[in-house]
Amino acid sequence: MFLARKINSLLSFFGLTIVDKSVLYDWQKGEVATSQDLQLPAGAFEYLNTENPRLQELRRRYSVFQDNASIPVVWTDEYVQSYGLQSFRGDNCYVWQTRDPNCAEINYCLTAYYAQKIDTLGLLDKNCEDGLFGVHTYTVDSRCISRDLLDSTVELHFLEKHLGLSQFEELRILDIGAGYGRLAYRTVNAFSNVSSYLCTDAVPESTFLSEYHVKFRALENKVTVVPLDEIEKRLQNQTIDLAVNIHSFSECTLEAIEWWLDILAGARVKHLFIVPNASDHKGEKLALNSGEDFSSLVEKYGYKLKIKAPKYEDPMVQQYGVSPTHYYLYQLES
C-alpha cells in the first residue's frame, strides 16, 4: 500500500517499520502475559532485604577495600538498586531473560531443543529448574526451562568438550563475578568430581546473594563464597584448575580486569574461560560494554587463546538462540 510504504520510509530513520498484524506471533502483539508470580522459599522474604546486617557488613568492607577491582563502571549503586533482592534470579542485571537479543518464547524453544541435542552428559536431567526467586521460565517438551538452566548447560558442555571437566580427579574452579552463584549450583549438580568451587565478586550485593543461594541449595561442602577482601589470601593456599568469568569482565574497568588477571597469573591458574557481553549480538570481540577490546590485556598476563567458538555450534541457533555470544578459552603459558 502506498501510504504504508511512505510511512515506513519515514519510520526507517528510527529503526521502525509497520507490518501486517497477521504475520506476528501472539507474543509479538503483546498479548501474552510475561510476568510470573514470585515464588520464594520459607525465610527468603525476611532474609533478602537491604537492611540485612550481613549485607551492611559486606558493603562496609568493600567500600574501604580500595583497589582497582572495586571501581564501579556498570555496577553503580543505582544499577544494583534496580532489582529487588528477593527476585535475584529474575529478569535483571545478573541474567537478562527478556531483554537480551533473541529472548522471545520461540528463541527459548529453539535453544531448549538445541541444549537437549548437545547434552550428552545429561546435564539437563541433573539440573532442574524450580522457578524460584523470580526466574523467567517456559515449558518446552515437558521440561521447565530458564536462561539460567540453558546457559549453564551450554557453558558446561563447552568446558567438557574442550577441557574434559568430568575427567579431572578433583576439579577446582574459581568463578570471578559469580553473581548469585548460578554456575556454581549447576556445576556441582552436574559434576561429582568438583572438590572446590569458589565464588567471588566485587559487588557486595552479589556476594551476599551468592552466600544465601549457596546455603539455600545446601552446597556449602563444595562451594565457598569468598569476599573480595579475602580472595588474594585465599588463592595463596589453594590450587585452581579453571577460572571462569561469565558476562562480568565486559562490565568492569580495564584496571579491574588487570587486577584479577594479576591474581590469576600469580596463582598459576592454568585455564581461563571468558564469556563477554555481545553488544553487537555476536561477541566476536573480547570487549567491554564500551566496545574496547581487552584481549591484549589477557595475553599480557601470559594467557594464550586456545579456543574461540560461537556459543551455539549450529550457525542457525547462533543466529536465533537466546543471547548469542562467543566463548573464549585461554591457557596460561608455562
Ligand X SMILES: C[S@@+](CC[C@H](N)C(=O)[O-])C[C@H]1O[C@@H](n2cnc3c(N)ncnc32)[C@H](O)[C@@H]1O
Residues in contact with ligand X by CB under 6 A are: 69, 75, 93-95, 176-179, 182, 201-203, 206, 246-248, 251-252, 256
Q: Residue 211 or 251: which CB sits closer to ligand X?
A: 251
**Nearest approach, Cβ of 1 to ligand X (angstroms)?**
44
Q: Which is nearer to ligand X, 118 or 228 (CB)?
A: 228
Shortest Cβ 207–ligand X spacing (Å):
8
- Rg over CA atoms, the chain: 21
Q: How many CB atoms lie within 10 A of CB 135?
A: 25
Shortest distance, position 156 Cβ to ligand X, whole Å? 12
Q: Which residue, 140 or 228, is less far from ligand X as judged by CB?
A: 228
Angle at 184 between CA 300 and CA 174, to 5 degrees: 30
Nearer to ligand X, 79 or 138 (CB): 79
Nearer to ligand X, 8 or 84 (CB): 84
Residues in contact with 181: Cβ distance below 8 Å, sequence separation at least 6, in sequence order: 175, 199, 209, 210, 213, 214, 217, 219, 223, 225
Name the nearest CA neighbour of 326 among 267, 237, 255, 246.
246
The CB-of-330 to ligand X minimum distance in angstroms stands at 17
Closest by CA to 137, choosing from 109, 158, 156, is 109
Closest approach, Cβ 46 to ligand X, in A, equals 23
In terms of Cα–Cα distance, which of 138, 205, 214, 221 is closest to 183? 214
Q: Which residue is nearest to ligand X (CB)?
A: 179
